[in-house]
Amino acid sequence: MRALTKYYFDYAATTPLDPRVLRVMSPFFNYSFGNPSNLYALGREAEQAATRARQTIARTVGCAPSEFIFTGSATEADNLALLGTARALKQHGNRIIVSAIEHKGILSAAKALETEGFEVITLGVSKTGLVNPKDVAAALNNKTILVSITTADSETGTIQPIKEIAHAIKKFRQLHDRSLPYFHTDATQAATHLNMLAYSSVVDMLTLSAHKLGGPKGIGGLMVRSGVKLTPLMYGGGQQNDLRSGTENLPAIVGFAKALKLVVRGQEKESRRLTVLRDRLERMIFKTIPKVIVNGHPTKRLPNFLNISILDIEGEAMLLRLDDKGIAVGTGSACNSQTLEPSYIIKALGLPYEYIHGSLRFTLGTYTTRESIDYVLKYLPIIVKDLRSMSPINLKVTGNKKTLSLPVAFVGGQTPHFVRGKKHAQK
């Protein structure tokens, strides 16, 4: 194994393909290469493989094989859930409820729907990153057609009270004798560590992605309960019950099924292993580095997530210093993003910008060991100390997260560029 894999702490971005997954995929590139839509032997072989993969996934997710639609990514699955249901149900209502910490696949699709005349309600989260089921209940009305709340977000891994939210929606439906709104959850990050059976049973739609769980990139899927009305995004040959035209990506589908099967098989044990490692990383960082805070929920978090803010220094600088030692992490700092905007998810927790700029996200996975953790613990405190020694600021950790930044930071109209534009837009 490459050292780079050993010190990879960005499993929330993507994961290495499990070699066992690669093995089952390979025949479908050039040996059993048929198109599942064709009737001759090669086509039938492909169709059987696709059916088997679909059955495996359906079993682990907890749905009928016909209730799972393969897509090109989780983003496409999210888009299908939002655009698909909204367009199919526009005569029944126009309100869509999402949370502020959804994946961009949800938020951008919701924004697009606003231009089509839909009303999007974006719910805030608590300072620990939780959506309040009561907020969901309060936002429901008889024009609401869809609620989409992530199972766990991609920055802090905070696990949302999906069952409670589902309960609130169910109660609303019963009270008003409606079958709407539908409830969708993006379980892309959560599927590696949470039992999907418990979630699929309370929602109408659920998004998954293969490359976050040791499968190949370029394949995701949407579980859609039968009876849910959906307009397709792709029009063509009518594959997958006319809901997602386009020749099935067979090697990826087979790989997706195998990856999911492997993950579920070892799920509890792996979650326990990573919890121990993650907790060690967290505990030791707090022990060796002053002025650190955890972003997200202290306990209701996926076992492989640790998102922290290290005050007085900036995330990209830390990321590049860690990279120099072969360690890969994520950051919510504006400097690291193409748009130069700080992480909207950490911002939704109500943290001031200077905390977001100093945020680091460690996400653990298959190849993370005690040794990988100790390797980080050997270098991170040195890097932090070094960067702090060259920093001109010395912020205090305040309990009051409501105050947005130090006022002195904005003297003479020095408002951050990412706020400036928005203020104008509001006016």
Partner 1 sequence: MLKNETKKMKPEVMNPSTGSAWVYSRIVKDHFFHPHNLLLTDPKQKQFNAHGLIGSPACGDVMRVWLTIDQASDRIKEFKWRTFGCASAIAATSMLSDMVTERGGMKVDKAMALKPQDITRRLGGLPNRKIHCSVLGDKALRMALNNWFKKTGQYERIVVEGTEIIDPITKVTEADIEEAAIEGVSTIKDLQKRTKVGIGNPECLPKAEQLLRFYNEKYFGKQSSE
Residue of 114, 242, 324, 374 that binds partner 1 (CB under 8 A) = 324
> Among residue numbers 96 through 125, which ones bind partner 1 (CB under 8 A)?
none
Q: Is there binding between residue 409 and partner 1 (CB under 8 A)? A: yes
**C-alpha to C-alpha distance for 43 and 183, rounded to whole angstroms:** 36
- Residues in contact with partner 1, shown as a per-residue x/- string from 333 to 352 under the rule CB under 8 A: xxxx-x-x-x---------x
Please give the size of the binding site for partner 1, defined by CB under 8 A. Answer: 44
Q: Determine the interface stretch with partner 1 among 84-92, 276-284, 366-374, 391-399 (rule: CB under 8 A).
A: 391-399
**C-alpha to C-alpha distance for 130 and 152, rounded to whole angstroms:** 10
CB 357 within 8 A of CB 340: no
Strand locations in 279-323 (E) = 292-294, 305-310
Minimal distance, residue 338 CB to partner 1, in Å: 7
* Catalytic pick among 13, 233, 294, 335: 335
Is the bond leading into 65 cis (omega within 30 degrees of zero)? no
Minimal distance, residue 404 CB to partner 1, in Å: 8
Q: Is there binding between residue 414 and partner 1 (CB under 8 A)? A: yes
Q: Is there binding between residue 4 and partner 1 (CB under 8 A)? A: yes
Active site residue 335: yes
CB 387 within 8 A of CB 310: no
Q: 76 phi and psi, to 5 degrees?
A: -65, -40
Query: What is the DSSP track for 18-82?
Result: PHHHHHHHTHHHHTS---TT--SHHHHHHHHHHHHHHHHHHHHHTS-GGGEEEESSHHHHHHIII
CB 245 within 8 A of CB 238: yes
Q: Determine the interface stretch with partner 1 among 136-144, 207-215, 270-278, 325-333 (rule: CB under 8 A).
A: 325-333
**C-alpha to C-alpha distance for 146 and 265, rounded to whole angstroms:** 32
Q: Is there binding between residue 412 and partner 1 (CB under 8 A)? A: yes
- Buried/exposed 147-164: b ≥16 CB within 10 Å, e otherwise: bbbbbbbbbbbbbbbbeb
Q: Is there binding between residue 3 and partner 1 (CB under 8 A)? A: yes
Handedness of CA 386, 391, 393, 397 (dihedral sign): negative
Q: Is there binding between residue 332 and partner 1 (CB under 8 A)? A: no
Q: Is there binding between residue 325 and partner 1 (CB under 8 A)? A: yes
Nearer to partner 1, 137 or 328 (CB): 328
Residue of 400, 411, 423, 425 that binds partner 1 (CB under 8 A) = 411
Active site members: 335
Binding residues (CB under 8 A) for partner 1: these are 3-4, 312-317, 320-321, 323-326, 333-336, 338, 340, 342, 352-354, 357, 389-393, 395, 404-414, 416-417
